């Protein structure tokens, strides 16, 4: 197959492309790093010529994006452009990575039938992108549209939230905020890309899957696993949630005044302390079996990205 991957130079996209190509597919990488922008419709249309399927991973996803309209430019108009380019090339097959953020915070382990309630512009823009795709699928007789809503994804070479946590522990700079009893669903990139490849076999006109690896960890359990794999002592002290949130608002104010990005923000504190758990039973019922356990994923990431710090412990 000839497969286009938007965001193909990103964390998930890079690994997905390599795995698809290893299976004998030809991949077209549509990414800003390759000077290919999904907001450039004529160029996007030309790039999709001869493709059989599109993996749409490109997104604006950071917590600190300004102006906020950028989320909607990339995540909503970008979806419209991808679908318009697909129509121009008579392509009906798309696999879209949305986000668990469409459910909002403290969503009580939603399954795919739960009502979305995004709490920030990223989640809202991803939800609006989904709605654009759903409307297209209803009108398109050739539609084979799969929406995947992953939770936080971690793995080798990623510099997201889990990397930040591991790095703080490795440098003895981690401070627990809250009592650590809140639960987190997370997903190892090797399992996520395996599931995305699995979705190539799903011939549904429109289907939605949550994706998370189990079992869910409490934040305290997650930190204990990280500490064990790094050979570091487990955290003893914790900052109350209210104090941590207050600090986040202070740094938000400083960011607006100075134009700088800080590692602490109110959104990040709220996300850290929230229960963020997902029901991914539907993905399992599809016949998918993840190739790695969560602990294996964490260990693989630490061995790859933190080997010198692990030895120093």
Q: Helices 219-230 and 294-305 sit at what angle, rounded to 10 degrees?
A: 50
Is residue 103 annotated as a catalytic residue, yes or no?
no
| Closest by CA position to 90, among listed 38, 133, 45 | 45
CA 9 – CA 17 distance, rounded (Å): 9
Burial code (b: 16+ CB inside 10 Å, e: under 16) for 207-243 equals bbbbbbbbebbebbebbeebbebbebeebeeeeebee
Is the backbone peptide bond immediately before 225 cis, with ω within 30 degrees of 0? Answer: no
277 torsion bin: left (phi>0), alpha (psi -120 to 50), beta (else)? beta
- Tell me how crowded residue 256 is: count the other CB atoms within 10 A of its CB: 10
CA 88 – CA 240 distance, rounded (Å): 54
Catalytic residue among 122, 188, 209, 211: 122
| Closest by CA position to 94, among listed 106, 103, 81, 105 | 81
Burial code (b: 16+ CB inside 10 Å, e: under 16) for 115-138 equals ebebbbbbbbbbbbbbebbeebbe
CA 197 – CA 288 distance, rounded (Å): 10
| Closest by CA position to 15, among listed 35, 29, 33, 1 | 29
Q: Which residues are catalytic?
A: 122
């Amino acid at each position: 197959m000839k497969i286009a991957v938007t965001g193909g130079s990103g964390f998930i996209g890079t690994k997905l492309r390599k795995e698809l190509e290893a299976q004998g597919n030809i991949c077209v990488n549509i990414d800003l790093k390759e000077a290919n922008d999904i907001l450039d419709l004529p160029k996007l249309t030309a790039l999709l010529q001869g493709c059989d399927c599109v993996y749409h991973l490109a997104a604006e996803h950071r917590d600190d994006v300004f102006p906020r309209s950028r989320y909607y430019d990339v995540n909503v108009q970008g979806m419209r452009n991808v679908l318009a380019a697909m129509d121009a090339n008579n392509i009906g097959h798309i696999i879209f990575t949305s986000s668990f953020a469409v459910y909002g915070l403290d969503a009580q382990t939603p399954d795919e039938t739960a009502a979305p309630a995004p709490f920030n512009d990223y989640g809202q823009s991803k939800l609006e992108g989904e709605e654009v795709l759903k409307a297209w699928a209803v009108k398109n007789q050739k539609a084979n549209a799969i929406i995947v809503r992953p939770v936080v994804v971690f793995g080798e070479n990623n510099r997201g939230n889990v990397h930040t946590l591991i790095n703080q522990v490795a440098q003895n700079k981690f401070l627990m905020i809250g009592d650590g009893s809140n639960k987190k669903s997370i997903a190892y990139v090797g399992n996520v890309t395996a599931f995305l490849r699995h979705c190539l076999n799903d011939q549904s006109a429109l289907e939605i899957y949550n994706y998370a690896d189990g079992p869910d960890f409490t934040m305290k359990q997650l930190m204990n696993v990280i500490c064990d794999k790094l050979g570091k002592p487990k955290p003893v002290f914790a900052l109350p949630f209210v104090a941590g949130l207050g600090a986040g608002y202070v740094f938000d104010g400083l960011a607006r005044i100075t134009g700088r990005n800080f590692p602490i923000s109110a959104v990040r504190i709220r996300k850290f302390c929230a229960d963020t758990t997902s029901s991914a039973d539907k993905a399992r019922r599809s016949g998918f079996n993840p190739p790695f356990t969560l602990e294996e994923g964490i260990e693989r990431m630490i061995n790859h990205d933190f080997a010198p710090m692990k030895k120093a412990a």
